[in-house]
Amino acid sequence: MATADDYETYVAEAQQATMKGWDFSWLNGRADGGGPSWRSNLPPGPFDLVLNRHGVLDAARIRTALAPGGRLLTQQVGSRKLELNETLGVPAPADPDSWTLDVAVRALEDAGLRVATAREEMSPYTFHDIGAVIFQLRAIPWQFPGFELSEHESALRRLDRRIRIAGGFTVHDHRFLIEAQAGRWSAVEPGRAAVDVPPGRCPH
């Protein structure tokens, strides 16, 4: 069973963990969950495809890039992921309603795309020790503006005790999935290769 002394151990391990881009493998065994339930399966066919996972969703640019009848498939990180901010007393980086499924769908439809699929989930994600929490704070600092380990030590120690008593601390990842299609009036001619937008920091 973890003791109070483990707090310093977990903190030290998390601070010394190597950050390698968008690699969260250090959390294996220390946190779990967060994956949405959907799986995307597009039917085969002669259409162009844009894949966007956690990238900036520029509706107007995507609209002009798609061939007539071309499809967009995107998974986005929403703005309602605030439980850890609230627990630690860290201000939210943005309005909780600034980037939701409804906001994204409206942007795509305003750009002339037809939305075929729209799904939104709050997927549970559980931290099993305070080191996993601190690693998360380091990995996505834009989610926790102004966070300083020393200034938030009291809140972290309270959360550490909560995790050790309850066996974990569960938050919910805000994710949404959209499949949309360009009309036959697209200015881009058919036959362009598919575009895969790599994962990365989404400013929303």
**Domains identified in the chain and CATH numbers:** 6-16+26-35+47-196 (3.40.50)
Nearby residues of 21 by Cβ (< 8 Å), 6 or more positions away: none
Nearby residues of 168 by Cβ (< 8 Å), 6 or more positions away: 126, 127, 128
Q: Name residue 115's beta-bridge partners.
A: 180
User: pTM for the complete prediction?
Assistant: 0.75
Torsion of CA 83, 132, 156, 16, to 10 degrees: -140
Distance of CA 44 to the CA centre of its chain: 28
Overall residue count recorded for the chain in this entry: 204
Contact 76, 108 (CB under 8 A): no
Nearby residues of 12 by Cβ (< 8 Å), 6 or more positions away: none
Contact 35, 175 (CB under 8 A): no
**pLDDT tens, per residue, the chain with 204 residues:** 556 678 999 999 999 998 777 678 899 999 988 777 766 544 444 357 888 888 788 898 888 888 888 999 999 999 999 999 999 999 999 999 999 999 999 999 999 999 999 999 999 999 999 999 999 999 999 899 888 999 999 999 999 999 999 999 999 999 999 999 998 754 444 444 455 554 554 433
Show the tokens assigned to 60.
Answer: 């107007």
Q: Which residue, among 198, 186, 174, has the nearest Cα to 74 in the 3D structure? A: 198
